[in-house]
Amino acid sequence: MVDRPDYPRVCVDRSQPPALRADVVERQRTPWYARPEDARAAAPTGSLWVPGQTLTVAFLREGSAEGDAALIEQRVRAIAEEWTQHANLVLRWVEGDATIRIAFENSGSWSFIGKDCLGNAEGATMNFGWLSPDLDEAAFRSVVLHEFGHALGLIHEHQNPSAKIQWNRKAVYAYYARDPNRWSPVDVDRNLFETYEASSTQFTACDPRSIMMYPIPPEHLESGDPVGWNTELSDNDKVFVESLYPFPPKPR
């Protein structure tokens, strides 16, 4: 199978496998066309924050970031705040101890799902291993929006209980076994093929254009439409996250 530069590396969410514990999740990455009025996405019920809650966020760097590091942090902050235009949550950026703690280690990109980060008393709860000053804007935005979607409680859209993806499993196993992922078949099962239990997940129809969807090239499918590289919040991402974290009614 030919390497496809238009299909980026994928993240993993942090928690336990959906088949074992559907109210929590583990490391993940990147939904589909839909009418704007159709909110399509998924979130584990037990991992959601309280609407209106303030979440403290800190970067795990020793001392004040300078130069390229400071620029990267500034870009991360600006992009992450886009979620709060559609979700009634506040991101308060602080130094030191925080609820969401962001590292930049060379170990891929990942995030805990929503409140699951509270179970990690020390260390990072989100990691951006691929961000660099020369990364193009679309790729940079895609990674940051995706991981902060996880931090707000959203799961990978292809693991939505309503997703009926007709995978070409042999091709998928072969693709993810190679660099940069080097996933075992168990890893692939866990991060792609397993779906969350409907009984403990808030979800609607699968959205192929969501920022929470993995890209799916045609050779990874037995049938159905491929999914491109989503780099922005879809209309349905915005509607769904506001349904999870509604804003108070505006006074008349």
Domains of the chain: 49-152 (3.40.390.10), 156-234 (no CATH)
Tokens at residue 93, please? 């950026």
pLDDT in tens, the chain (252 residues): 233 344 446 676 654 433 333 333 333 332 222 222 333 344 556 789 999 999 999 999 866 667 889 999 999 999 999 999 999 999 999 998 999 999 999 878 899 999 999 988 779 999 998 899 899 999 999 999 999 999 999 988 888 866 788 999 999 999 999 987 888 999 898 888 887 665 444 555 678 899 998 899 999 999 999 998 899 999 999 999 999 999 999 887
pTM: 0.81
Through-space distance between the first and last CA atoms of the chain, rounded to whole angstroms = 59
Q: Which of 41, 73, 14, 43 has its CA nearest to residue 197?
A: 43
**Cα(215)–Cα(77) distance, integer angstroms:** 25
Distances (CA, A) of 205 to 33, 92, 212, 244: 10, 32, 13, 15
CA angle 96, 138, 228 (to 5 degrees): 120
CA gyration radius, the chain: 17
**Cα(167)–Cα(14) distance, integer angstroms:** 23
Sign of CA dihedral 61, 65, 71, 73: positive
118 three-state secondary structure: helix
